[in-house]
């Protein structure tokens, strides 16, 4: 859901609850519980931007939960968009960027 230029990416409160219960059962389940909690908490995505590196690579940068910077690299045929762009800046609406980010969640990688 997009509100105030912020995308809320899933979350499952039942699995967060179960993760907290597993964490309380002992060291073995502690790691599984922590992973379950972190994987299923709601994440807030802000500040999306897109740049065409060349006619075949689209780079999308965004912030998750205020501090963590992430990127997505998409390969495709962007020749027409690259010709129309100025210095690689592509005209995508905020809603389009959020849709690309949400549908490509497995491709997120943390920017260091």
pLDDT in tens, 27-53: 666 677 788 888 888 889 999 999 999
Nearby residues of 65 by Cβ (< 8 Å), 6 or more positions away: 43, 44
Locate all alpha helices (DSSP H) within 1-112, ordered by sequence: 13-25, 27-40, 79-84, 94-103
Q: Is the pLDDT of residue 60 over 70?
A: yes
Q: Is the pLDDT of residue 99 over 80?
A: yes
- For the whole model, what pTM was predicted? 0.70
């Amino acid at each position: 859901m997009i509100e105030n230029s912020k995308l809320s990416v899933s979350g499952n409160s039942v699995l967060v609850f179960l993760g907290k219960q597993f964490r309380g059962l002992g060291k073995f389940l502690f790691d599984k519980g922590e992973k379950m909690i972190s994987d299923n908490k709601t994440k807030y995505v802000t500040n999306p931007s897109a740049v065409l590196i060349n006619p075949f690579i689209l780079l999308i940068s965004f912030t998750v939960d205020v501090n963590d910077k992430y990127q997505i690299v998409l390969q495709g045929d962007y020749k027409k968009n690259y010709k129309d762009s100025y210095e690689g800046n592509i005209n995508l609406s905020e809603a389009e960027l959020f849709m690309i980010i949400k549908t490509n969640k497995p491709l997120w990688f943390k920017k260091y």
